Amino acid sequence: MQRIGIIGGSGFVGAELLRLCAAHPDLDVVLATGDSQAGQPIVSLYPNLGPVVGDRCFDAYEPEAIAGLDLDLAFLALPHGASQAIVPALRDRVPRLIDLAADFRLHDAAAYPTWYGEPHAAPELLSAFVYGLPELFRSAIAGATAVAAPGCYPTAATLALTPLVAAGLVDTGTLIVDAASGVSGAGRPPKPTTTFCTVDEDFTAYGLLDHRHTPEMEQNLAAVAPAGAAAPTVLFTPHLAPMNRGILATCYARPAGGGAPPPTADLLALYREHYAGEPFVHVIDGSPSTKATLGTNMVHVTVRSDPRTGFVVAIAAIDNLVKGAAGAGVQCANLLLDLPETAGLPRAGLYP
């Protein structure tokens, strides 16, 4: 068994890591920290975990003690900015790290003040982290010691658009992403904008024109774009939907060169060929549904050609807490630890 630590185990992503690791044949969680929840029973926050955690309590985070735990890998499920402060010391104590926040996702340190409002605290470590989207960077992840797991919105949008961009079929300078997320994407701590009375019976756009996941999408699509393609530019509008989980990303693109888009049948064939053999991407003829991905590490994706408007429309659905966060982390951990990539990760969703 591989010895695993979860730093930040009391948040929604940390709880999902506890759930997934409990069902994993090769991962043993020996540390689950909880900051203000340290010493409190895990079931007091997450009664669903009772059968697998028993009377276990959240641990305090004590950096000096971590080396003595002989961890094989640690997940960092912390708010943005917190990982930057502890990663420099952790790298000497844990051989493999997977950060589930945005602290090490962007390659360019200069982007952090613009999109995250403050300079990066450890810019010298950005190059040490591999971006953790296996469908794009599997070989690099497998040989890494530090991984930055993707954001939930970028996961859905990137996998929806990648086959089109990689094939050179769309104008990368005019990409549009409209996406809606469940409220769990805002994290466990209560906020005025995420209370039941605020969210119920409402549907709201937020982060207009400056959402911090925008440069992550552009960075990913630049990595798959053909040589000579325009630098990807994404107009991203996120929305908050009155549901617990899920992301639905609807992406729009113009054909490259201004011609007519290929027929839908050809585009669907392209997607099936591009994602052939990918265990967690399911190309469908119908319209993706967030409920169909509930509790899974799957991405359901489809694509359409609209000759009337000249647009191509690509749609992806994920569970934001699994493929959009904890599941992506476990998928990367499997690669880092030389385990089967699909181990411990559900593919069939809960329904209804």
Residue ranges, comma separated, of all CATH 3.30.360.10 domains in the chain are 153-320
Annotated catalytic residues are 152
Q: What's 336's DSSP letter?
A: H
Which amino acid, residue 36? S
Residue ranges, comma separated, of all CATH 3.40.50.720 domains in the chain are 2-150+323-336
How many other C-beta atoms lie within 10 A of the C-beta of residue 301?
Answer: 27
What would the pLDDT profile of 255-300 be if each residue is shown by its tens digit? 998 889 999 999 999 999 999 999 999 999 999 999 999 999 999 9
Confidence at 217, pLDDT banded by 50, 70, 90? very high
How many other C-beta atoms lie within 10 A of the C-beta of residue 227?
Answer: 5
What integer pLDDT is reported at residue 351 of this predicted model? 92
CATH fold of 2-150+323-336 reads Rossmann fold (3.40.50)
Q: What is the chain's percent helix, strand, coil content, to nearest 5? A: 35, 20, 40
**184: phi then psi, degrees, rounded to nearest 5:** -60, -20
What integer pLDDT is reported at residue 35 of this predicted model? 84
What would the pLDDT profile of 109-159 be if each residue is shown by its tens digit? 999 999 999 999 999 999 999 999 999 999 999 999 999 999 999 999 999
**Pairwise CA distance, residues 344 & 335, whole Å:** 13
What would the pLDDT profile of 16-61 be if each residue is shown by its tens digit? 999 999 999 999 999 999 988 999 999 999 999 999 999 999 999 9
Torsion angle, CA of 283/208/191/114, rounded to 10 degrees? 100
What would the pLDDT profile of 75-103 be if each residue is shown by its tens digit? 999 999 999 999 999 999 999 999 999 99
Extended beta strands in the chain, E state: 2-7, 27-32, 73-76, 97-99, 130-131, 146-148, 175-181, 204-205, 234-240, 247-253, 281-283, 299-306, 311-318
Confidence at 188, pLDDT banded by 50, 70, 90? confident
Cis ω before 352 (30° cut-off from 0): yes
**Residue 162 is encoded by which pair of tokens?**
């990648």
What is the CATH number assigned to the segment(s) 153-320? 3.30.360.10
Q: What percent of the chain has pLDDT over 90?
A: 93
How many other C-beta atoms lie within 10 A of the C-beta of residue 143?
Answer: 9
**Pairwise CA distance, residues 269 & 259, whole Å:** 20
Length of the chain: 352
